[in-house]
Structure 1
Amino acid sequence: MNTFTNDWEFWLDENISPIIAKWLMDEINIKCISFHFLKLNKTADLEIYNLARSKEKVIIISKDLDFRELVSWKGTPPKLIFLEFGNCSNQLLYEKLKTKIYDAIQQLIYGDLDIFEIKKD
C-alpha cells in the first residue's frame, strides 16, 4: 500500500462515468469519488474548486476547460488531471487513464506539476 493512499483522493467530474471511479480505486488503491456521489453534479465549477481547495489533497479528473482555467489562474490545491479528448466508451477511457495514472501520481503528488494532461493519442 502506498503512503499517499490515505491522504489523497481523486474526484471525477460529472461527465465521467462513476464506474471509472470504482475501476481506478481498484487499480491504484486511492479513494476515487464521482461528482455524482459527492452530490456535486449540479454545482458550479468554482464552488467545486473551492471545496476541493479546502480539502487540500484532491486531484480532479476532468475534460472541462473551466477546471483547467481555475487551477491555472487560482493555483493549487486542487491538482488536475485534464483529459484532452472527447466522448468515448468507459472501457477506452479507463485504458487511457490506466496507462497514464502512475505517471500522473508521480508528477502531481510527488513532483511540482499542477495539471497533468492526457491526450487522445
Structure 2
Amino acid sequence: MAIIASYEIRIITDENISWRLKKLLPSWDILPVNEIAPHERLSDIRIWQFAKANGYSILTFDEDFRELQNLYSFPPKIIWLRTGNVNTKAISDLLSRSRNSIVQFIQDYSLGVFELYL
C-alpha cells in the first residue's frame, strides 16, 4: 500500500463544525470557515467559491452543499458527515479512521460526495 501524504487532505470546515478540529488533526490542512472571513458569516455559495478557487474540499453536516454540487458539479468535493449531533473528538476519530478512504475519494475525479457514518 502506498504512503499517503497528509497534505493531500485540504478541507474547509463548515460553520457548524468546531475550529478545534484543526487542533485534533494537526497534520491535515484544515481551514475553519471563520478563518476565511473572521468578522462575517459567509454564505454557502461564497464558501463553495472559495473552496473551488483554492483547491479545498468542504467538510459539512449540511445537505445544502450537496445541492450546490447538483447545480454546479465539482470541484469542490463534499465530505458529508452523516453522524447526527456528535462532539468534535468523535468527528476527529471518524476522519482519522477514514483517512485513506478520504484521500482516495479526493483523488477520484469521478466522485463528488463522500458520506461518512459512525
Q: Output the TM-score relative to the length of structure 1.
A: 0.81
**Aligned-residue offset at 1:4:** 7.1
Q: Which residue of 2 aligns with 1:18?
A: 19
Q: Which residue of 2 aligns with 1:98?
A: 96
What residue ranges of structure 1 are gaps of 5+ in the alignment?
none
CA distance in structure 1 between the aligned counterparts of 2:100 and 2:29, rounded to whole angstroms = 14
Name the aligned partner's letter for residue 105 of structure 1.
V
**Aligned-residue offset at 1:2:** 5.0
CA contact (8 A) 2:58 2:76 kept: yes
Aligned residue among 82, 85, 98 for 1:84: 82
SS in 2 for 1:116: strand
Name the aligned partner's letter for residue 102 of structure 2.
A
CA distance in structure 2 between the aligned counterparts of 1:2 and 1:101, rounded to whole angstroms = 9
Superposed CA RMSD in Å reads 2.2
Q: Output the TM-score relative to the length of structure 2.
A: 0.83
5 Å matches for 1:14-93?
14-24=15-25, 26=26, 29-39=27-37, 42-55=41-54, 57-93=55-91
Matched, 1:116 2:111: no
CA distance in structure 1 between the aligned counterparts of 2:99 and 2:69, rounded to whole angstroms = 19
| Cα distance change of structure 1 residues 104 and 75 upon mapping to structure 2, 3 Å threshold | same
Structure 1 runs, 4 residues or longer, greater than 6 Å off: none
Cα deviation code 1:51-104 (max 9, x no counterpart): 22222x211100011111112321111111000122112211211111112201
What residue ranges of structure 2 are gaps of 5+ in the alignment?
none
CA contact (8 A) 1:61 1:82 kept: yes
CA contact (8 A) 1:12 1:61 kept: yes
CA contact (8 A) 1:108 1:115 kept: no
**Aligned-residue offset at 1:22:** 2.4
CA distance in structure 1 between the aligned counterparts of 2:22 and 2:6, rounded to whole angstroms = 17
**Aligned-residue offset at 1:112:** 2.8
In percent, how many aligned pairs have the same letter?
25
